[in-house]
Structure 1
């Protein structure tokens, strides 16, 4: 059985979990507690990933695979049904959208680390504002995006990023002025795979 270093609050872990739900592979993976901090790395994570980050997947052969984009690409090859990474020219827009969602997550996680791990007197409000600006710019672009009818990992990544905003920044009314994106996010959150992987 494969093993996944896991933490329910991580949007990057959620990406992997959504794929496992959508492709029917949940029973193939054992979840291991991978909760960690940049200042206090989880020893179990370091044992399989020298960076100490999650998610990290350990294959049945014992090989570690890390970075959520690498893990999801790997898992997507293991099932027989419709792939979440499309083939042909449709692959590139999906990858660009996935990169956009991942960058939004990175900016959001960065703000949380700045708030929690840096001494209050040393926190940079300007840096945190710049991260929020990146997220806002991405959402403004996504507001006019045409999302494919078929689910792909680009959409999964963006939806996980938006879910992370709701989880960590409930005071941020990101839906204001972005009605199309908000409606799309609401449809995504109704999927069983998203309801089952809500951050906690």
Structure 2
């Protein structure tokens, strides 16, 4: 299996960590989402990462679908619980964490893709509000129990905030900081996939 991704992508990182925890081999081939000549646009019509290319050439995207596939390949009930209550708790956390990551990414893209005089402060504030509310909800009730797709997604979203926003989230969220420290200690792939700020 080939994973098209970029080192800083929280969603690609989520897939890499999931594969490591499941004991699955995935070759990572870096993708340039901005390049019209990158084969990514043929592999995924959306031109987005992460995209997983299976041995038969079939492609899967986005990270939630890819991790669900990897979990199934590994026998199921590993990162996505089979039992109804725990399953949807994990998927709900994944959705919240992915939304947090999306909102952070959109703030970065506003600065990266739009000329300074055309940037929309209200749009950035709207996305920042999503991040703040997600962090507040997670600080009030940090994840507990077994590592799931949800906790992986959250660790990657928080790691992205560390990378792109200088870890400013940490000051007001001590319970989440402690949770992330525990996750990092339990999951060596988290540190192995960390990208240092340029």
TM-score, length-scaled by structure 1: 0.92
Aligned match of 2:103 in 89, 102, 107? 107
SS at match of 2:170: coil
2:116 corresponds to 1:120: yes
CA distance in 1, matches of 2:192, 2:65: 22
CA distance in 1, matches of 2:125, 2:36: 27
SS at match of 1:103: helix
Residue 81 of structure 1 and its aligned partner are, at CA, apart by 7.6
2:51 corresponds to 1:56: yes
1:37-70 residue CA offsets vs partner (Å, 9 max, x unmatched): 3xx4452111110000011011111111011100
Residue 120 of structure 1 and its aligned partner are, at CA, apart by 0.6
CA distance in 1, matches of 2:18, 2:191: 13
Residue correspondence of structure 1 range 16-165 to structure 2 within 5 A: 16-26=15-25, 29-37=26-34, 40-41=35-36, 43-80=38-75, 83-88=78-83, 89-165=85-161
Partner of 1:192: 188
Q: 1:142 to 1:199 in 2, by over 3 A?
A: same
Residue 157 of structure 1 and its aligned partner are, at CA, apart by 0.6
Q: 1:146 to 1:166 in 2, by over 3 A?
A: closer
SS at match of 2:145: coil
Aligned match of 1:168 in 161, 164, 167? 164
| Cα contact 2:3–2:51 (8 A) shared by 1 | yes
CA distance in 2, matches of 1:33, 1:182: 30
TM-score, length-scaled by structure 2: 0.92
Point out where structure 2 has 5 or more consecutive residues left out of the alignment. none
Partner of 2:13: 14
1:110-134 residue CA offsets vs partner (Å, 9 max, x unmatched): 0111001101100011211121111
| Cα contact 2:184–2:191 (8 A) shared by 1 | yes
Which consecutive aligned stretches of 4+ in structure 1 deviate over 6 angstroms post-superposition?
none
| Cα contact 2:142–2:175 (8 A) shared by 1 | no
Residue 12 of structure 1 and its aligned partner are, at CA, apart by 0.5
Point out where structure 1 has 5 or more consecutive residues left out of the alignment. none
SS at match of 2:3: strand
